[in-house]
Each structure stands twice: as C-alpha cells, then as structure tokens.
Amino acid sequence: EPEVTQTPSHQVTQMGQEVILHCVPISNHLYFYWYRQILGQKVEFLVSFYNNEISEKSEIFDDQFSVERPDGSNFTLKIRSTKLEDSAMYFCASRRRGGAGTDTQYFGPGTRLTVL
Amino acid sequence: GIQVEQSPPDLILQEGANSTLRCNFSDSVNNLQWFHQNPWGQLINLFYIPSGTKQNGRLSATTVATERYSLLYISSSQTTDSGVYFCAVTTQGGSEKLVFGKGTKLTVNP
C-alpha cells in the first residue's frame, strides 16, 4: 500500500537556524498538508497546498514558514529562523481527489524537530 | 470554529476487555477520521467515517452525523492497542483542515 514518507525522522537544530523538512506524498494525490504536534498536545493544522499554491493556512503559519513542491514529487516545509517553541512533531499528509473534505487524509510518520 | 471533544481522556484496561471511545463535535462535518498514535508518535489511519458504521477486525466505528458524535469500539483489546486515539474532522464549507480532538490515551495492561 502506498505511503507518505518523511525525512529526516529526527532533526536537531540550533535556535535561529533554518530547517527544511521533506515529504514525499502518495504519488496520485493532489492535495498536501502540514500539521504539527507539540509534545503532549493535540495535532494542529499548519497549511494546505493544491495546484502549486497555498489554499489555506493557520495563524501558526507565519512569515517564518514556507512550503514548496520543487519537483513534482517532494513537498517541503521550511522554517527560516527556528525558535524554541517550534520544537514539535511535524506531519505531512496528502489526499487523493477533489471536493473539500470528501476523502481521507493520509499521514506520514512525522519528523521530530528539536530546537536547542 | 468547530469544537471536537473526546472522552474519556484516559482509559486503562486489562487485556481482553472491550472499550468505547467517544468523539463529539459542535458543527456539521464533511470528513471524520479516527487515528491511533502509537508509542513512536506515528499517526495510523483507522477509519474515514463521516457517517454510518465500519468494521476492521477488532475495531469498529459509528458516526451519527445528525447527532454530531462518533464512537470507536475496540474489542478484545491487546497491549499493542495502547496509545492515543484521535478523532479529527473537517467542517462543511470548503475548509481542508482537519481539526483534532485532544485524544483518548488508552493503556492496555497484560
């Protein structure tokens, strides 16, 4: 069964550094998402992406965040200048077809980001 | 925005017991998914169930959309069922984002 994959599984960085988290969505999926989960808390939506542009973003997704689909298979989340509070598990998800909310979002295994 | 409430917050069972987890939501939904977060932090899809009933092995789920709740049933629980179970919804009106509840932490003891 096709899966969403994410790399790295764990990223440690110094405060103020840039990080890029990588995701490979399921190949025939059209909609892509990033979520995050601070340790012990619930999962929160960051951004959705369709047709090479952001379709929706949350208040968390401020100017320090950006997303890109550079080559038709990868989907990346960049954090320009990391803060301590960016430490979290970041999940990538993808969905197959159109019609808002009419199909399952499949989640990757996550990247645990630790900012020191 | 929509509120998603899960109960109970914590549940401790002996292996072999059955359990019911509940998810209440405050508005009409397009999508409802149940996830299991394992001890490694991975979110495992259990069900896509905006309405009706589905079964997958020892797990089953029912969503009564008109009454705005969903139930996840775990029968003959095993230690590997331990983890956190999340309910997540998207609202009607075009938003893509899944709104998660706070989860039910399940511990199954041998």
Q: How confident is the model at residue A102 (pLDDT cuts 50, 70, 90)?
A: low
Report whether pLDDT(A48) > 70.
yes
Q: What is the pLDDT of residues B53-74, one digit of tens each?
A: 999 999 999 999 999 999 999 9
**How many contacts (CB atoms, under 8 Å) link A and B?**
70
Superfamily of domain covering B4-109:
Immunoglobulins (2.60.40.10)
Q: In 3D, which of A85, A89, A93, A79 has the Cα closest to residue A18?
A: A79
- Nearest chain B residue to A92 by CA: give it: B43
Q: How confident is the model at residue A103 (pLDDT cuts 50, 70, 90)?
A: confident
* Contact residues on chain A for B103, CB-CB shorter than 8 A: 42
Q: Which of B31, B45, B95 sits opposite A106 (nearest CB)?
A: B45
Residues in Cβ contact with A72 at an 8 Å cutoff, skipping those fewer than 6 apart: none
Q: Nearest C-alpha of chain A: how many angstroms from B35?
A: 10
A104/B96 Cβ within 8 A = no
Three-class DSSP category at B18: coil
- Nearest chain A residue to B38 by CA: give it: A109
B43/A112 Cβ within 8 A = no
Instruction: Sketch the domain layout of chain B as residue ranges.
Output: 4-109
State whether residue A103 sits within 8 Å of chain B by CB.
yes
Residues 45-84 of A with CB under 8 A from B: 45, 48, 55-56, 58
Report yes or no: B96 and B90 within 8 Å, Cβ to Cβ. yes
Say what the pLDDT of residue A100 is: 54
B92/A55 Cβ within 8 A = no
Q: In whole angstroms, give the CA distance from residue A31 to residue A99.
A: 11
Say what the pLDDT of residue B68 is: 97
Say what the pLDDT of residue A112 is: 97
Q: In whole angstroms, give the CA distance from residue A10 to residue A33.
A: 19
DSSP strand pairing (B29-37 vs B43-48)? antiparallel
**DSSP H helical ranges for A13-68:** none
Q: Which residues of B34-72 are buried (b: 16+ CB within 10 A; e: fewer)?
A: bbbbeeebbbeebbbbbeeeeeeeebbbbbebeebbbbb
